[in-house]
Amino acid sequence: MIRPTIPDEAVILAGVEGIGVQSFKALIGRLGLAGLRQAPTSELIASGLRRPLAQALRTLLDDRARFELVRTAIAAELEPDGRLADAAAIGNWPGIGDLDDCPLFVALNAGLDNDFKASRRIAIVGTREPSSTGLFVARELGRELASRGALIVSGGANGIDSAAHAGAIDADGLTVAVLGAALSQERANRPEHIDWLWRRAAVLTEQIYPWPPRKWMYPRRNRIIAALAEIVIVVEGRQRSGALLTARAAQRLGRPLLAVPGRVDDSVADCPNALLAERAYVCRHADDAWAALAALAQRPAPAQQLELEQTLTADELALLDLLRVAGGQAHVDEIAARLERTPAAVAEIVLRLELARRVCRDAGQMVRLPR
């Protein structure tokens, strides 16, 4: 087997635990690759690295045998049938360019191809310890949305993530698993599960060197999930959870956020219920998610904002008129009844108007005109 070529930049970035994308960019921007190879520790510190990282990097650069061992270890991570994507390739992925700290290198399998560029992209995330209802909902969402042509993005973990991936695979659809740790480390902990994803899904990880799993790796992974998706759905999660971190990453990136409502006495529903209280969109079934995608596709560009009044649909104008007559606000169910539309259709109309900043949505599914 011919192993893939691993560039020096990948070895430097991955070979010292703790050097992040931004730090590496600063180093290369100031010193260049050739200058970095020769720079003394003091110059590395002056370029922004903390002293322990600067010393570790200088040690790696000076120890050629160690440097080549790191290169070999990265190449081994790509077996079997994997490859290393660099910044140029990653930059072509939809959504990923919205990250300020877009990955510079990613290990991935052959399952990720150009098909996903033409797909609608939906992240489905949640706890590793879900309820039976949560598992059912995640799998059904994955199956139904994938059957409509959506790419399902999740984190490859046991629980909600795996159920979402499985649902997409049930529908012979596309799904991407974004792992937190290196491939070999994930396989060591869950060999059958990761091998199943490797065979049936697209799998990628920013951790190209087999450092042991660290807690910080998973929040870093979550930003990639949010960036790759057009909308993010939180199925279940406790008050402090990785699902909440993904939700926050989605909010920072301006991705519409949906949550599956749960019982108020069930701790795995704490995260989605809290997000709903913050005005995340309700996701009861695939139609709600599809409505969010449809509204997103119709979001006007900045240059179109002045023409928005002339481009509103009859349903959108009717909803705005209804709100004015009702004193500025109305419940979603009342709107559906008075407009003689289904709740799913009203949700799509409301979302389009909300994205255009023509209405606001408050807790309890109240829709109002902006104050």
Domains in the chain (CATH in brackets) are 8-77 (1.10.150), 90-290 (3.40.50.450), 298-368 (1.10.10.10)
- Strand-by-strand arrangement of the 329-331 sheet: 329-331, 366-368, 360-362
> Cis before residue 80, ω within 30 degrees of 0?
yes
Q: Which amino acid is at 208?
A: I
Residues in the chain: 371
pLDDT of residue 306: 40
pLDDT of residue 358: 84
pLDDT of residue 326: 84
pLDDT of residue 131: 96
Long-range contact pairs involving 16-21 (C-beta distance under 8 Å, separation at least 24): 16/53, 16/56, 16/57, 16/60, 17/56, 17/211, 17/214, 18/53, 18/56, 19/49, 19/53, 19/57, 20/101, 21/101, 21/102, 21/103, 21/104
Q: Which amino acid is at 277?
A: A
Q: Average pLDDT, stretch 8-33?
A: 91
360 confidence band (pLDDT: 50, 70, 90): confident
Tell which wins on pLDDT, 79 or 54: 54
Cβ neighbours of 72 (radius 10 Å): 13
Q: Average pLDDT, stretch 281-303?
A: 79
237 confidence band (pLDDT: 50, 70, 90): very high
Tokens of 40: 């003394």
Q: Per residue in 92-127, pLDDT tens?
A: 899 998 998 899 999 999 877 766 776 899 999 999
Contacts of 229 (CB under 8 A, 6+ apart): 95, 121, 122, 123, 153, 250, 255
Contact (CB, 8 A) for 168 and 174: yes
What is the C-alpha to C-alpha distance for residues 371 and 345, in angstroms, rounded to an integer? Answer: 25
pLDDT of residue 278: 85
pLDDT of residue 297: 67
The strand pairing partners of 258, in sequence order, are 233, 281
Q: First and final CA of the chain: distance in angstroms?
A: 65
Q: pTM for the complete prediction?
A: 0.81
Q: Per residue in 165-221, pLDDT tens?
A: 999 999 999 999 999 999 999 999 888 988 899 989 999 999 999 999 988 899 899
Q: Average pLDDT, stretch 26-36?
A: 91
Cβ neighbours of 184 (radius 10 Å): 16
What is the C-alpha to C-alpha distance for residues 174 and 165, in angstroms, rounded to an integer? Answer: 9
pLDDT of residue 304: 44
Q: Give me the chain's average pLDDT, please.
A: 89
Contact (CB, 8 A) for 330 and 314: no
Q: Which amino acid is at 32?
A: G
Nearest to 164 by CA among 145, 182, 179, 185: 145
Q: Average pLDDT, stretch 3-20?
A: 89
Give whole-number Cα distances, 81 to 41, 102, 199, 282, in Å: 38, 24, 10, 40
307 confidence band (pLDDT: 50, 70, 90): very low
What is the C-alpha to C-alpha distance for residues 150 and 175, in angstroms, rounded to an integer? Answer: 9
| 3-state secondary structure labels for all residues of 42-75 | HHHHHCCCCHHHHHHHHHHHHCHHHHHHHHHHHH
Write the burial class of residue 51 (CB in 10 Å: 0-12 exposed, 13-18 middle, 19+ buried): exposed
Residue-wise burial string across 299-332, b where 16 or more C-beta atoms lie within 10 A, e elsewhere: eeeeeeeeeeeeebeebbebbbeebeebeeebeb
pLDDT of residue 189: 86
Q: Average pLDDT, stretch 250-278?
A: 92
Give yes or no for residue 308 having a pLDDT over 90. Answer: no
